[in-house]
Amino acid sequence: TADRQFGLNNTLGFLTATASHRRVTGNFRLARAARVVLRIETPSGGIVKTLATRSLPSGNGTISWRGRPGSYLFSATAKNDVGAVELSAPFRLRR
């Protein structure tokens, strides 16, 4: 048998999207500093709005968006020297 090494990039975790009426609040956690892109997307992956593109330190983050009724994804991508991680959380805005 051959030994194989692999790495697990846990830079980005605990992504949630909490919707209330026409506003969603996205929460996420960075285990280490990273360049982060936060977006609202359609269920098929189309970009509705880029909320932020910036370097952030490790820790918890929160961002809100007010939109029209419909189904969306809150998407977060974190890139650093470990690699890139992307997570998304579905949500629905109602009238």
Q: In total, how many domains does the chain have?
A: 1
Domain assignment present for residue 76? The answer is yes
Domain assignment present for residue 21? The answer is yes
Which residues span the domain enclosing 61?
A: 12-93
Residue 80: which CATH number?
Answer: 2.60.40.2360
Cα–Cα distance measured from residue 16 to residue 87, given in angstroms and rounded to the nearest whole number: 10
- Binned at pLDDT 50, 70 and 90, residue 1 comes out as low
Domain assignment present for residue 88? The answer is yes
Domain assignment present for residue 77? The answer is yes
Q: What is the DSSP string of 42-95?
A: -TTS-EEEEEEEEEE-SEEEEEEEE--SEEEEEEEEEEETTEEEEEEEEEEE--
Q: What is the pLDDT of residue 2?
A: 76
Give residue-wise pLDDT tens across range 20-74. 989 999 999 999 999 999 999 999 999 999 999 999 999 999 999 999 999 999 9
Domain assignment present for residue 1? The answer is no
